[in-house]
Amino acid sequence: MKQGLSLRVSQHLALTPQLQQSIRLLQLSTLELSQEVEQMLDDNPFLERAAEEAEREAYGLDRADTTVSDSDREMESLPELGAEFTGLQSTSATSEEPAVSDAGDAEPSWEGDGSVDMSPDDGEWGGDAPARGQRDEDESTDATELARTQESLTAFLHRQALGLRLSPEDQAALRFLIESLNDDGYLEDTLVDLARGLAKDDEEQVEALVHHFTVALRLLQTLEPPGVGARGLAECLSLQLRLLKANVAKDDATRGELLSLALSICAQPMVLLARRDVRGLMQVCGGSDQQVREAIALIARLEPRPGRRFVDVQRNLVIPDVLVVRQGAGSHVNFKVRLNPDVMPRLRVHDIYANALKGHKAHGTEAANYAVLQQRLQEARWFIKNIQQRFDTILRVSAAIVERQKNFFRHGELAMRPLVLREIADELGLHESTISRVTTAKYMATPFGTFELKYFFGSGLGTESGSHASSTAVRALIKQFVGSENPKKPLSDNQISAMLKEQGIECARRTVAKYREALKIAPTNLRKTL
């Protein structure tokens, strides 16, 4: 084979360590970013939290808040899903307006030009976010700290058990039962199975353990919260009803009869209660139609999961990354989009260490150590700038979402329009994968509640006019139909599909069933009041 030389021109993308870190920080949630910052502060001596506010211009943080206004342009026309619904607001459980303090123009923001100053600077970044550990002692405790200090159900029950005078055997049995409860406060295993798990094939020891467990279970079911230690939903509701009945005044006979009827209902198969079969419950439990309905309403106010308030709330803790504030009214309404200053870490490069390294000249064997320290200093600068770029990208994407979904912020989820990642990516000049990373585990606080950024994206359903209606708006419409239906004649999926067609939306029965299940709405037979 003849050898020779040739010249080729090619392009390739190299993922530098800085780019890899930028991508990784972009996809982290707020809590994960906080942990990453703590880890970096421990590992890198050149990185520190800023005690004083540095110059904001060093990182381009002197720009005004992003504002999406409708005063100078007409509102986009809604799809043919019925203009009469545009004035209705969302009635979801997250409809509370977030308490957002207006910090003025001093907060970090993005104006829309996408400019990022990447010049090397050892100044602080993070704007007006208060440094951790420097808040006044009178301020309210941080939500993360509350989540971490939350007492578990097991610890709460153990603390109550310390006040009981029990023999060592019964005390050990009670402790074992407490440790055997699930997160909801139920005892899933039978007492015999628990005893056999300890004693195995020794029948005499199994019988003795069952006796101790029986005594301990009765004691456990007297502890707070009411209903704990139940082995099923019926027993859980019955325990709470018995406690209510024990506290009823002797002269309140009506209340006592209602509680007795409720206990009788809980003793029946739960399917009758789930179907609200008033006629069937009247036949097996007695009582008039009005009494049975009042008893069902009383049972509905009980807690089916006694351990609900003791669940580790840190796993479900939601901290908004972006705040949207509504300003003005009528045709002059606009929405100000800003970053949440409480989630933005204030970091800076340690000036003393950086200056000492800059003025030091290494010779001989010190050259290797000098190179390592220079690398650590560069890593600290990269980390600060990558965090800045992360929040800048989040703000740009959030502003684009608010611009596209401004009808949602004016009228609620019924006015949501179809939106896909590609639209935002093309508008901002980013890749779809970048938009996906930005919208995952990032939350926006809006006047209608706090939503994940992915909530504003959804597929579209065809309409008679040729346009598309957002799947989110269709789900809201289904929820509205079900909320206004006749309990005695609930709407079927076919009927809901026909009602949507009347609004000009083509939605098949299977699609309606899928949306109904996503909304956790029971099927027709379980919604019907017999």
**In 3-state terms, what secondary structure has residue 474?**
helix
How far, rounded to the nearest angstrom, does the alpha carbon of residue 468 sit from its chain's CA centroid?
Answer: 29
Angle formed at CA 449 by CA 427 and CA 134, multiple of 5 degrees: 95
Helices (H), 149-189: 153-161, 168-179
The reported pLDDT for the residue numbered 248 is: 85
Q: Quick one: average pLDDT of 148-163?
A: 83
Smallest CA-to-CA distance from 122 within 453, 445, 352 is with 352
29-68 per-position pLDDT tens digit:
888 898 999 999 999 888 888 865 444 433 334 443 555 5
Contact 157, 180 (CB under 8 A): no
* Neighbour count for residue 479 (Cβ, 10 Å): 19
pLDDT beyond 80 at 364: no
Residue type for position 380: A
**In 3-state terms, what secondary structure has residue 398?**
helix
Query: Could you give the CA distance from residue 194 to residue 51 in angstroms, rounded to a whole number?
Result: 56
pLDDT beyond 50 at 161: yes
Query: Could you give the CA distance from residue 11 to residue 113 in angstroms, rounded to a whole number?
Result: 29
The reported pLDDT for the residue numbered 249 is: 80
Burial of 359 (0-12, 13-18, 19+ CB in 10 A): exposed
Q: Quick one: average pLDDT of 82-94?
A: 34
The reported pLDDT for the residue numbered 229 is: 93
* Neighbour count for residue 118 (Cβ, 10 Å): 11
Q: How confident is the model at residue 251 (pLDDT cuts 50, 70, 90)?
A: confident
pLDDT beyond 60 at 353: yes
Q: Quick one: average pLDDT of 247-270?
A: 88
Query: Could you give the CA distance from residue 247 to residue 255 in angstroms, rounded to a whole number?
Result: 11
Q: Quick one: average pLDDT of 323-331?
A: 81
pLDDT beyond 50 at 118: no
pLDDT beyond 80 at 312: no
Smallest CA-to-CA distance from 24 within 454, 344, 430, 382 is with 382
Angle formed at CA 345 by CA 344 and CA 349, multiple of 5 degrees: 140
The reported pLDDT for the residue numbered 295 is: 92
Q: Quick one: average pLDDT of 142-167?
A: 76
Q: How confident is the model at residue 313 (pLDDT cuts 50, 70, 90)?
A: low
Lowest mean pLDDT among 18-27, 37-46, 145-154, 249-258: 145-154
Q: Quick one: average pLDDT of 493-521?
A: 89
Contact 229, 218 (CB under 8 A): no
The reported pLDDT for the residue numbered 415 is: 85
Cis bond before residue 447 (omega within 30° of 0): no
Provide, for the chain, the percentages of residues in helix, strand and coil under a 3-state DSSP scheme, each rounded to the nearest 5: 50, 10, 40
The reported pLDDT for the residue numbered 221 is: 92
**In 3-state terms, what secondary structure has residue 512?**
helix
Bigger pLDDT: 62 vs 305: 305
The reported pLDDT for the residue numbered 4 is: 83
Q: How confident is the model at residue 287 (pLDDT cuts 50, 70, 90)?
A: confident
Domain segments of the chain: what residues?
21-77+92-138+318-404+441-456, 153-220, 233-309, 460-527
For the chain, how far is it from start to end, CA to CA, in angstroms? 90
Q: Quick one: average pLDDT of 419-436?
A: 92
464-498 per-position pLDDT tens digit:
666 677 888 888 899 989 988 988 889 999 999 99
Token pair in block for residue 261: 């009827």
The reported pLDDT for the residue numbered 239 is: 94
Helices (H), 91-187: 143-148, 153-161, 168-179
pLDDT beyond 60 at 463: yes
Lowest mean pLDDT among 335-344, 349-358, 473-482, 489-498: 349-358
The reported pLDDT for the residue numbered 278 is: 87
Q: Quick one: average pLDDT of 297-307?
A: 92
Query: Could you give the CA distance from residue 405 to residue 97 in angstroms, rounded to a whole number?
Result: 18
Domain 460-527 -> CATH class: mainly alpha
Q: What is the mean pLDDT of the chain?
A: 78
Cα atoms found within 13 Å of the Cα of residue 380, Cβ hemisphere only: 29
Contact 230, 187 (CB under 8 A): yes
Q: How confident is the model at residue 134 (pLDDT cuts 50, 70, 90)?
A: very low
Query: Could you give the CA distance from residue 320 to residue 339 in angstroms, rounded to a whole number?
Result: 9
Q: What percent of the chain stands above pLDDT 90?
A: 31
